[in-house]
A and B are shown apart, each in its own frame.
Chain A
Amino acid sequence: MKINSYFSDFLSDIRLTSSQKEDLKRGHETLRRRLNEYDDLKSIIVSTFLQGSYRRATAVRPLNGKRADVDIIVVTNLDRYNLTPQEAINKFIPFCDKYYKGKYKLQGRSIGIELSYVDLDIVVTAAPSEVDLAALKSRSVTTDLMLEDFGGNYEWRLSKGWSEPDFHKGYVYLSESVRSEPEWKINPLWIPDRDAEEWVETHPLEQIRWTRDKNKNTNGHYVNVVKALKWWRTLKLTNLKYPKGYPIEHMIGDCCPDNITSVAEGVCKTMEAIIAKYQIQHLLGTTPVLPDRGVPTHNVWKRVSPDDFAEFYESVQEYSKIAREAFEADKLKTQVTKWRELFGEKFPPYEGNEEEESKSRNLTAPLGGFTPRKESSDVTPKRFA
């Protein structure tokens, strides 16, 4: 697939930049360090770990000067039977006042911190079950590497013996013993919903694990298909407020076929699968229900109105035709031009010479070298030293 190199360059340009990643790292490391050192919180914090699109490697570069964001789960030993969501959140307010005064606001299920260079989202959880404590403190949970940071022969696993690869070594691979370790079955975590005044379940680790498996089944293309389609959505559906972010990722997860052999194929077939799968909902004017991974009672698409869904669905219809044309075009130049209709300027342009394309090499062309030259060519001046 000649188009693959165009896709990998496009993806390099829509991923978080290395400086954005540095900023996120600085932001969450500082926050986690402060939390662990804060006297009044020390005794209640069990563990902190990263979740969200950053961790799953499905985050795209924010547009128009927006800041990148990262979600931090703070696992506490607070008893959800004795504390209301508001009381639980209140325990963190002195901390936020001390370090992030004027920069934070309380959201429905989290505390949002806006720094000049990065947004942090603190999600507080109630006490997990005793059996999950060791797992939640393990390196495999608290690592700050994202799924994309592991090469093909090293994978992230939710298990006791797992540790990060040593990138200074020539070859990194996961030891056989860790590979064969059974993975922890962790229960969902409980987070405070202040608006509903109740504790609700969430299961970020299951989302990460699911993404890892899906990525494996799609030859490592899945997270890139997600990024490409999220980019398309941000770029082309500018008037649509919802769905965005995780709900889109979730739908792609449900629709992206396994065993795809390229991102191009993944994008084209995922769009077509969305059209086929939700045809009924579109006809009936309803919004599909997508149960959350790990907490099936949650509907990920709960917030999306039927009108928004219809608009989203019709855009997918419109663009999936272009994706199909791009995917099936003979000429690389046509493929590139079509894909640029979906993904815009970030998708690299075709720079080849059209006349040369599909013309086979002319062996008598004056390239010089191993056979005497039949015709003269310009000799360029050269400096000798």
Chain B
Amino acid sequence: MPDREPTKELRSARRLLEDMPGYERLGDFYWEERLEKWVLHIRMTIDVPESEYIPTVTEWRVIIDPQYPLGQICFMPDENKGIKHTFQHQNNNRLLNNSKWRSGKICLDTGQGTWGRKKYSPEPVDAINRLKWHVERCLIWLEAAATDTLIENGDPFELPDFPTSTDYRIAFNEDNDSFVRWQSEQRSSGFFNYNPLDQQPETYPISRFDIFSEEVAAKVWGSYINDRNKYSKNRNKEKAGLWLMLKRIPVMKPWQIPYTFKELDAVCQAQGINLLQILLKTYSRSKREKIKLDLVALGFPVPVRIGSPEELIHWFAFKLILPKLNGFRDNEVLWKQQFTELISGTAKIQWIKTENWNSMQLTNRGRISEDLTNSRILFIGAGALGATFAELFGRLGCSNLTFVDYDKVHAGNLSRHTLTLNDVGKNKAEALSTHINSVFPFHRCTFRKNGLEDTLSKEAAFLDGFDVVIDATGEDDVIQLLSNHLSSKSTHFISVSTGYNADRLYCYLATNSKFANLKNSFKERIDPFLQQDITIMQKTSEIIEGIGCWHPLFPARIDDIQMLAGAAFKIIEQQLSRPKEERLVVIEKQYADGEFTGVMIKNI
């Protein structure tokens, strides 16, 4: 509308720029109706000599939120006089239809997860300076791009941004071990299988490459994916693709994913790889073996940091769509013709999103040490407390949890449990195992649907298979049973339970002890506290579950349970890596004048 005016904040920010060397404004703010944002057309002139991809003078369209200084500030290369290539720290830079700018937004932010540096200068948040800071960063970015210093040794390795045409994704699982396997592999191409997970948008984990032994293939994924492949309605939908291992990442200079097969072919040629020959050879083999190929996956080694040795295989993938040709029989002649046409033509590559779903990749935002993630952990009791600790262990990357519980999930449990209405009526141990397995694709949790006693009567050596045994039942009988059966020297034993109202959490820890005396040493430490609880309980009336039954409940709120469990987890983690003498740790909520003031931790 003609009446729309930029705000005072926008105007003062833009006036402040006028004095910046290297900056020139080519028009005033104009309103972009489609985006509902302001756009400023600017020209940048850098102080360093012109380079192959960066001219001295470039034009940009700066897209700014009307709520400035809130919101995003995006620097887009101008459609005619913007930079035309794609660099690191930049989105894929291509021409857009009906647009005054190209898609190559450059990354100027200093948030973590963009280019995380050891130190960064804070971005101003005030109206006057924020835009100026961005313009300065744009000039620095350009100068770095022109002098080839956008990345340096030690920076995290970043894949180029690329436009994907699909909303589904391909997941693969690559780590240092699989890297070593690939390095020793003689073949450079072959087939792989992938299966859909029944969810939307669809994800297709690569279930196996044809070079894998059965044993390796079985270990690629955890229960979530394996069980689906075995039982789901998609199990017959296994698809096949063609894999091809390259020598290095297939990018065009400076850092752009190939758009067309012609460009991809040139990138492969530069690596001494004859794309046409490999595709044709593998495709002909698939035809003979009656395998239908839908995808091509390109593998290549990558370092974790720039300049360090390569240590992982990453995969790109695209749809395999061959041009239709008439007048040929379905034989080598036709296929050769099809691939030749595909590669020599300007057909665009339909890239598909790919993600490494390896445990080290997915737990980057927070995990515990690797020795702990590999521990075999038993949870006796899958109630509110067991579930809360299972959630912590599971999300922090522990894959091998086993749950033992005879009880079923009730709707009334849900106020302090991690499960949901989907699980009501199911066995708690099974439901919790399924839930934790659905957290990460590499988790392999299992369960027993009986109590500990029944489980031991069926499997006498059941307890020997664990590094950590966690009792989350709050029952003395379980402590008694464990006194009799826990013998494995390496075992850590932990018992967690809360006092009345979850005012306290009792966490008993013992490692490599003579567990025979467990019951007594546990009892003598905890009894004084239980006595205090009893006094309090006698003063309050009991809570009942609901109308129609008279069953005293133990009251405790989820906020208390999660808070106390979080504190207890810190202590458990220390115990597992650097064990101390057996002890009882009491974590207690603190109040002063009725105000909550924190938690206190006592070692008994």
Interface residues of A (CB under 8 A from B): 2-6, 8-9, 12, 18, 21, 145, 148-149, 167, 170, 332, 348, 351-352, 356-361, 363, 366-373, 376-380, 382, 384
Contact = CB atoms under 8 A, between A and B. Distances in A.
A12 B11 contact: yes
Interface string B23-38: 0010010000110000
Contact of A370 (B14, B115, B122): B115
B140 A369 contact: yes
Given A21-B3, A368-B119, A371-B152, A351 B110 contact: no
Contact of A6 (B15, B128, B139): B15
Contact of A361 (B6, B119, B136, B154): B136
Contacts of B233: none
A8 B28 contact: yes
A369 B122 contact: no
Contacts of A376: 119
A330 to B, nearest CB: 12
Nearest to A146: B2
Given A360-B47, A379-B122, 16 more contacts: A5-B25, A12-B5, A145-B2, A170-B98, A332-B19, A352-B16, A361-B22, A363-B140, A363-B143, A367-B136, A369-B110, A369-B137, A370-B140, A370-B152, A373-B120, A377-B122
Contacts of B111: 382
B56 to A, nearest CB: 14
A379 B14 CA distance: 27
A336 to B, nearest CB: 9
Contacts of B137: 367, 369
A332 B110 contact: no
B150 interface: yes
9 contacts: A5-B18, A167-B1, A348-B11, A352-B16, A359-B21, A360-B47, A367-B136, A369-B120, A373-B118
A367 B133 CA distance: 9
B121 A366 contact: yes
Contacts of A2: 18-19
Nearest to B6: A12
B117 A5 contact: no
B89 interface: yes
A57 B3 CA distance: 13
B19 A368 contact: no
A377 B20 CA distance: 23
A47 to B, nearest CB: 24
Contacts of A148: 2
Contacts of A384: 112
Interface string B52-68: 00000000000000000
Greatest chain A CB density within 10 A among B47, B111, B119, B149 is at B119
Contacts of B141: 369-370
A351 B150 CA distance: 32
Contact of B34 (A4, A170, A351): A170
A254 B143 CA distance: 49
B460 interface: no
Given A351-B128, A369-B117, A379-B120, A360 B21 contact: yes
B12 interface: yes
**Residue of A2, A18, A376 with highest tally of chain B CB at under 10 A:** A2
Contacts of A366: 121
Interface in B478-518: none
A327 to B, nearest CB: 16
A372 B118 CA distance: 8
B9 to A, nearest CB: 11
Contacts of A369: 108, 110, 115, 117, 120-121, 137, 140-141, 144
B337 to A, nearest CB: 44
B347 interface: no
Contacts of B140: 363, 367, 369-370
Nearest to A335: B18
Contacts of B143: 363
B197 interface: no
Instruction: Report whether over half of chain A's contact residues are helix, strand or loop; otherwise say mixed.
Output: loop
A368 B144 contact: no
Nearest to B21: A360
A384 B113 CA distance: 11
B151 interface: yes
Contact of A351 (B6, B12, B112, B149): B12
Nearest to B10: A9
Contacts of B34: 170
A358 B19 contact: yes
A370 B144 contact: yes
Interface in B98-157: 98, 108, 110-112, 115, 117-122, 128, 136-137, 139-141, 143-144, 149-152, 154
Q: Top 10 A-B pairs ranked by shortest CB distance?
A: A2-B18, A368-B120, A368-B121, A370-B144, A380-B122, A9-B11, A149-B2, A373-B119, A360-B21, A18-B3
Which of A21, A358, A360, A363 is the most central at the interface, judged by chain B CB atoms within 10 Å of its CB? A363
Nearest to A5: B15
B133 to A, nearest CB: 8
A371 B121 CA distance: 12
B117 A368 contact: yes
B5 A356 contact: no
A357 B17 CA distance: 10
Nearest to A375: B119
A370 B150 contact: yes
A332 B151 CA distance: 36
Contacts of A358: 19, 21
Contacts of B117: 368-369, 372-373
A379 B98 CA distance: 41
Contacts of A372: 117-118, 152, 154
Q: Which of B19, B136, B151 has the most CB of A within 10 A?
A: B19
B121 A5 contact: no
Contacts of A352: 16, 18-19
Nearest to A169: B33
A148 B34 CA distance: 23
Given A369-B140, A373-B118, A5 B28 contact: yes
Nearest to A12: B5
Contacts of A368: 110, 117, 119-121
A170 B100 CA distance: 12
A167 B4 CA distance: 12
B151 A167 contact: no
Contacts of A21: 3
Nearest to B34: A170
A359 B144 CA distance: 20
Nearest to A379: B119
Nearest to B25: A5
B308 to A, nearest CB: 15
Nearest to B24: A2
Contacts of A167: 1-2
Contacts of A4: 25, 28
Contacts of A367: 121, 136-137, 140
A351 B15 contact: yes
Nearest to B365: A384
Contacts of A371: 144, 149, 152
A372 B124 CA distance: 20
Contacts of B14: 5
A247 B263 CA distance: 68
A384 to B, nearest CB: 8
B128 to A, nearest CB: 6
A182 B115 CA distance: 61
A363 B46 CA distance: 11
Nearest to B3: A18
B47 A361 contact: yes
A173 to B, nearest CB: 15
A148 B3 CA distance: 10
Contacts of B5: 12, 18
